[in-house]
Structure 1
Amino acid sequence: MSRTIWTVLGVIAAVVIAWFLVDLVFSVLWFVVKLAIVAVVAVVVFLWLRSLVARRDGRRAVER
């Protein structure tokens, strides 16, 4: 009987630990995905802003 109780407690502990580990792994993966999306959007915004500044500088050079 004692062996069965320890087996049940071991299974419960394993499930709880696995639950936290899976939650941690998915949190880290979601953070990495969000970081990649932010990096891509930042590059697009940077290129867009750079093109706006280049157009303004080009117009000023023509006006002079």
Structure 2
Amino acid sequence: MRTFWTVLGVIAAVVIAWVLVDVVFSVVWFLVKALIVAVVAVVVFFVLRSLVRRNAVDR
């Protein structure tokens, strides 16, 4: 009976570890995507600002 509980404990540990790793990777991937979006948004903002400023000077 002791072996049964050991096997059950190992299976439970693997399932819990699988879920935890999945959650951690999901959070990390979300943070990386958010950082990339923020960098691209800043670049686009400055490009648009320079285009608007250039058009305002031409008039």
Same fold (TM over 0.5): yes
Deviation beyond 3 Å, 4+ runs, structure 1? none
Aligned pair count reads 59
Instruction: Show the 5 A alignment for 1:1-64.
Output: 2-60=1-59
Q: Deviations over 1:8-55 (max 9, x none)?
A: 000000000000100000000000000000000000000000000000
Question: One-letter code of the match for 2:18?
Answer: W
TM-score (norm 2): 0.98
Larger radius of gyration: 1
Q: Identity of aligned pairs, percent?
A: 75
Unaligned runs of 5+ in 2: none
Question: One-letter code of the match for 1:30?
Answer: W
Provide the alpha-carbon RMSD of the alignment. 0.4
Question: One-letter code of the match for 1:4?
Answer: T
Distance of 1:13 and 1:19 partners within structure 2: 10
TM-score (norm 1): 0.90
Question: One-letter code of the match for 1:21?
Answer: L
